[in-house]
Amino acid sequence: MATFSRRRILKYGLFGSAVLAVGTVGIGLQKTRMRSSSRALKVLSAREFSILCAIVDRMFPENPPFVSGSEAQTPESVDEIMSRMPILVVEEFKQALALIENALTGLVFSATPRPFSQCTPSDQDEILEAWRTSSMAFRRKVFRALNAVCAGAYYGQPGRFAAIGYPGPPKGLNPGAFK
C-alpha cells in the first residue's frame, strides 16, 4: 500500500496545477479568425473588428431582402458609432467583444474550447443564445449591449429602411443629417 506524505501530495498537486495552468493559457491564447475592413478603422483594432464581424453575421444572417451584417458594413458602422462615444463606453464594448471571443470563457460557459470567431455558425448561434438567455445577469447585459449597438448600426442605415417598411426620417428636421 502506497503512502503519501504531505511533500509528495504537494509536489503532485503543484505539478497538476502547473499542467492545468499551461493548458488553460493555451486555450485562452487561441487566435481570432481575422477579417479585413473595407475602410480604415477609427476605434476598433483589426482583431476586435474580426470578432464583431463574426457576431454581426450571426445576429444578422443573410435573409433576402436583408444582407448579412458584414455585407451591410455593420462592423464599420459600429466603429464609427464608437468613435463618438466616451472612452469608458468604448473600452467596455471592447471588453465585451474579448469576453465572447475568449476560448476559455467559451469552455467554461458553453463547453466550446475555441474562440467564437473559429466556431461553426451553428455553434456561434448556440453561444449567442446562451449569452442572451443566461441565468447570470452579467451575461444577459453583455449580450443586450452588443445587440443594441449592432442592431442600431444595422437597421439605422438608409439602405435598410425600405426593407423594414420605414419611410425614413422626416425631411427638413435636420438637413444633411442623413446623407
What is the reported pLDDT for 142?
93
Q: Model confidence at 5, in pLDDT bands (50, 70, 90)? A: low
pLDDT digits (tens, 9 = 90+) for 78-102: 999 999 999 999 999 999 999 999 8
What is the reported pLDDT for 92?
95
| Residue 138 predicted with pLDDT over 70 | yes
What is the reported pLDDT for 124?
95
Higher pLDDT, 165 or 124: 124
| Residue 145 predicted with pLDDT over 80 | yes
Q: How far apart are CA 52 and CA 16, in angstroms?
A: 36
What is the reported pLDDT for 89?
94
What is the reported pLDDT for 14?
53
pTM, 2 dp = 0.76
Q: Model confidence at 178, in pLDDT bands (50, 70, 90)? A: low
Q: Which residues of 41-55 are buried (b: 16+ CB within 10 A; e: fewer)?
A: bebbeebbbbbbbbb
pLDDT digits (tens, 9 = 90+) for 7-19: 555 555 555 454 4
Q: How far apart are CA 63 and CA 72, in angstroms?
A: 12
